[in-house]
Structure 1
């Protein structure tokens, strides 16, 4: 019984991680094509303004949900209200957001410690 529960939990964990994983190469193309570096800096960790976040190396799941939140309209309790990022994020599918999040997460970041 314990072995069955363990295998079920293990399989669920592995499948959910793979289901979330984005394509790093596709994400790199999207990030480059859409000029994310024009605000977040050439390496995505030196933004052009202090109010813009350093995104390189952030966790992929955080990046994905942040991008997804910019797509939410007229609900400040759920979405994010930055007009520039809202306009940028709306054009992408969920799969594309995952790809971009995977790419940005794969970059070295200044203040991120991954375990």
Structure 2
């Protein structure tokens, strides 16, 4: 029982230490000028082929950014897009988690059809 409590405490403290920062994410999104393609509020893309990002799940956004960073080097995991591939190269995993947290916090207009 004591081991289980210690394990839970350690795992929860790791999660707290790695919590994403919306403020840092906002600064990174502004610095990378994501709105130049994804539009105002990251919800009005300049072309229909660019996705709306605002309000998307943060874990999906993080893994998408990570896949762009991997690129074609791993065809089972990577995503191939020259623009996004070059955009994410400078970001660390923590940066991408911060970006994902910020974008997920934005109001989106996704519609779930039943």
Could you tell me the TM-score, scaled by structure 1's length?
0.81
1:21: Cα distance to partner? 2.8
Q: Which consecutive unaligned segments of at least 5 residues does structure 2 have?
A: none
In the alignment, structure 1 residue 90 sits paired with structure 2 residue 63: no
Distance, in Å, in 2 between the alignment partners of 1:109 and 1:8 is: 40
| Number of the residue aligned with 1:78 | 77
| Number of the residue aligned with 1:43 | 41
Task: For residue 41 of structure 2, give the secondary structure of its aligned residue in structure 1.
Answer: coil
Q: Is the 8 A contact 1:58 1:109 kept in 2?
A: yes
Could you tell me the TM-score, scaled by structure 2's length?
0.81
Q: Structure 1's 110 and 13: CA in aligned 2 closer, same or farther, altered over 3 A?
A: farther
| Number of the residue aligned with 2:51 | 53
Distance, in Å, in 1 between the alignment partners of 2:110 and 2:10 is: 31
Q: Which 4+ stretches in 1 moved above 4 angstroms?
A: 7-17
Distance, in Å, in 2 between the alignment partners of 1:53 and 1:102 is: 17
Q: Which consecutive unaligned segments of at least 5 residues does structure 1 have?
A: none
RMSD: 2.4
1:92: Cα distance to partner? 0.4
1:35: Cα distance to partner? 0.3
The structure where helix makes up a greater share of residues is 2
1:18: Cα distance to partner? 3.4
Task: For residue 75 of structure 2, give the secondary structure of its aligned residue in structure 1.
Answer: coil
| Number of the residue aligned with 2:104 | 105
Give CA-to-partner distance per residue, 1:33-81, whole Å, 9 cap, x none: 1100000001101111111111001111111111000111422221000
Aligned mate of 2:31, from 25, 30, 33: 33
